[in-house]
């Protein structure tokens, strides 16, 4: 019988050919074939992992590419020539459709998710969660204001130059600090919920001119008719009148939903049908969002392109406004990329950047839409499906945060106020800086989660420290771009707040398990990142 050498074996660790029979004659071709097959298998596995990762993060990749493409299209069109306003409107039309789609989901999502989340908790747990949320919002907003003041005082972007070098754009709105505060209280309690769905209350100031006749005695005249001369004096007063914001009163809907959810939670079995209905509405809204999210890269591309084409003068970035722009941008980066993650790490003892990686999709959407309210569906989905935040926590923290937690806006207002003071060669005293910090914090709460709302409340901060209100036009030219970074910072603040509140409330949430949530059916919702979301209905 002929001798047959044993089949060569490849050691999986060393990748070397080995055999127990030393008399075997190894063919080098076998070695290369085995090594080649290993490399082929290894390459196939790597390709499979890349494809799987791309599939799971396809929406995120498309959103990031849409930002790049939008900038490229915008600068490309500017290089060829300036478009008319009508042509810019046509260019932004796909983006306008995206904003309409997202805003269409805001009201049913906010109302239904808040009612369902609050009703699923007892009063004690809900109260603790609310206190933790408010404490977090107040702390981070004050930190943002302090950071903005430090940045403006250290860098001094408005010093060393002539005020006339800075071009002015637009017109400052007439506002009164007391009226704005009262409007905030009015909007918390809307007199009509249907009206609150499409507009809020705002006090408008109308100019009223009054002409007075003043008589003056002319002693040198002998005639009775020439005995008097008349002088006309015109006085202008601002009279308040009822107006509308033109935006949904999200704050009023949030207050109503929280109160309504607490009452349903105390009703027991009687409130179950309405609780089931709210959870069903939330589930349906998220399914619609899954469809709309695939259109978001197209909409964001044309939103950014239209804004870049419509910008009047890029050369202003080379002036002191450019230094102001970099100061605000640097401050937002420190707050959103260092301070908030550090706060998350100190409280939770977890890697904050892993958490931030889970909300990259929400951050990209916030940059494209420039609205924390329109980004709300994306933020909720990222928190619940990628970061594992309890739906009862996210559905409470995110809607409330999108309404009153404006860290980026508070930082921006502090820097802008000091910048305008430096432009006018006005040295701020310590008392004025404290006034700026308090006013900026309060004004940011009144800024709704809509584009460029911070610019409106900026007037309140300037009036509080006696700065020229008309000088807000100095920063209008770059506000549209800064607004996108402010919105990203606001979304990051809301998301990290949800993570912190969930960590602090985890034991109470796991211990609370009663009949209101035991019998709810679970529905699996397919989402475009390759995972599934479980929603109670």
Instruction: Convert the pLDDT of each residue in 169-187 to its tens digit.
Output: 545 556 666 777 788 788 8
pLDDT in tens, 358-369: 999 999 999 988
Confidence check: pLDDT of 502 > 90? yes
Rounded distance, CA 385 to CA 531, Å? 8
Mean pLDDT of the chain: 78
**CB neighbours (10 Å) of residue 349?**
8
Confidence check: pLDDT of 25 > 50? no
Give me the phi and psi of 243, to 5 degrees please. -135, 180
Quickly state the pLDDT bin for 241 (edges 50, 70, 90): confident
Rounded distance, CA 410 to CA 437, Å? 8
| Higher-scoring residue by pLDDT: 518, 339 | 339
Average pLDDT over every residue of 341-351: 95
C-beta separation of 312 from 479 below 8 A = no
Q: Range with the lowest mean pLDDT among 182-196, 241-255, 472-486, 513-527?
A: 513-527
CA quadruple 255, 261, 262, 265: dihedral, nearest 10: 180
Chain center to CA of 521: 32
CA quadruple 410, 412, 414, 418: dihedral, nearest 10: -170
| Higher-scoring residue by pLDDT: 393, 202 | 393
pLDDT in tens, 414-440: 898 899 888 888 888 888 888 888 877
Rounded distance, CA 283 to CA 267, Å? 23
The domain segmentation of the chain, as residue ranges, is 9-53, 57-200+245-509+529-536, 204-243
pLDDT in tens, 48-88: 777 776 777 788 888 889 989 998 999 898 888 778 889 99
pLDDT in tens, 126-158: 888 989 999 999 999 999 999 999 999 999 887
| Pair type for strands 532-536 and 522-526 | antiparallel
Q: Which residues contact 404 (CB under 8 A, 6 or more apart)?
A: 137, 251, 445
CA quadruple 88, 489, 98, 75: dihedral, nearest 10: 30
**pLDDT value at residue 72:** 92
Confidence check: pLDDT of 471 > 60? yes
Q: Which residues contact 344 (CB under 8 A, 6 or more apart)?
A: 350, 352, 355, 496, 499, 500
Rounded distance, CA 445 to CA 440, Å? 9
* Phi-psi label, residue 513: left if phi above 0, alpha if psi -120 to 50, beta otherwise: beta
Question: What is the sign, positive or negative, of the torsion defined by CA atoms of 436, 438, 439, 441?
Answer: positive
The CATH label, of 1.10.3860.10, 1.20.1050.10, 3.40.640.10, 3.40.190.10, for the domain at 57-200+245-509+529-536 is 1.10.3860.10
């Amino acid at each position: 019988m002929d001798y047959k050498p044993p089949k060569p074996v490849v050691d999986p660790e060393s990748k070397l050919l080995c055999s127990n029979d030393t008399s075997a004659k190894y063919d080098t071709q076998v070695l290369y074939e085995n090594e080649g097959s290993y490399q082929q298998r290894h390459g196939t596995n790597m390709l499979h992992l890349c494809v799987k990762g791309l599939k799971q993060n396809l929406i995120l990749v498309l959103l990031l590419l849409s930002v790049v493409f939008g900038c490229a299209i915008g600068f490309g069109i500017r290089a060829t020539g300036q478009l008319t306003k009508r042509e810019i409107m046509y260019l932004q039309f796909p983006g306008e459709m995206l904003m309409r789609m997202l805003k269409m989901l805001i009201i049913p999502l906010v109302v239904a998710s808040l009612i369902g989340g609050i009703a699923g908790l007892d009063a004690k747990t809900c109260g603790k969660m609310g206190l933790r949320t408010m404490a977090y919002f107040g702390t981070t907003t004050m930190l943002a204001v302090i950071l903005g003041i430090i940045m403006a005082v250290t860098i001094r972007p408005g010093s060393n130059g002539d005020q006339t070098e800075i071009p002015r754009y637009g017109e400052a709105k007439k506002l009164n600090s007391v009226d704005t505060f009262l409007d905030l209280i009015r909007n918390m309690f809307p007199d009509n919920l249907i009206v609150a769905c499409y507009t809020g209350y705002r006090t408008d100031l109308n100019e009223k001119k009054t002409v007075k006749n003043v008589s003056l005695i002319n002693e040198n005249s002998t005639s009775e008719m020439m005995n008097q001369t008349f002088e006309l004096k015109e006085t202008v007063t601002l009279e308040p009148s009822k107006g509308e914001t033109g935006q949904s009163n999200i704050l009023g809907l949030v207050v109503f939903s929280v109160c309504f959810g607490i009452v349903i939670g105390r009703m027991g079995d009687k409130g179950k049908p309405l609780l089931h209905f709210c959870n069903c509405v939330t589930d349906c809204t998220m399914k619609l969002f899954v469809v709309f999210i695939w259109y978001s890269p197209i909409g964001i591309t044309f939103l950014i392109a239209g804004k870049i084409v419509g910008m009047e003068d890029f050369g202003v970035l080379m002036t002191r406004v450019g230094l102001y722009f970099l100061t605000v941008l640097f401050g937002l980066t420190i707050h959103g990329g260092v301070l908030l993650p550090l706060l998350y790490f100190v409280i939770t003892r977890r890697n904050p950047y892993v958490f931030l990686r889970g909300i990259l999709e929400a951050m990209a959407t916030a940059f494209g839409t420039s609205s924390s309210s329109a980004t709300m569906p994306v933020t909720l989905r990222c928190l619940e499906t990628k970061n594992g935040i309890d739906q009862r926590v996210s559905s409470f923290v995110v809607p409330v945060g999108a309404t009153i937690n404006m860290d980026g806006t508070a930082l921006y207002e502090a820097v802008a106020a000091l910048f305008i003071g430096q432009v006018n060669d006005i040295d701020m005293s310590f008392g004025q800086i404290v006034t700026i910090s308090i006013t900026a914090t309060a004004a940011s709460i009144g800024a709704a989660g809509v584009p460029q709302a911070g610019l409106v409340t900026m007037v309140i901060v300037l009036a509080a420290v006696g700065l020229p209100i008309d000088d807000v036009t100095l920063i209008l030219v770059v506000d549209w771009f800064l607004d996108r970074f402010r919105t990203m910072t606001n979304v990051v603040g809301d998301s990290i707040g949800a993570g912190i509140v969930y960590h602090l409330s985890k034991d109470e949430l796991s211990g609370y398990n009663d009949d209101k949530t035991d019998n709810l059916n679970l529905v699996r919702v397919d989402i475009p990142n390759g995972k599934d979301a479980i929603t109670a209905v």
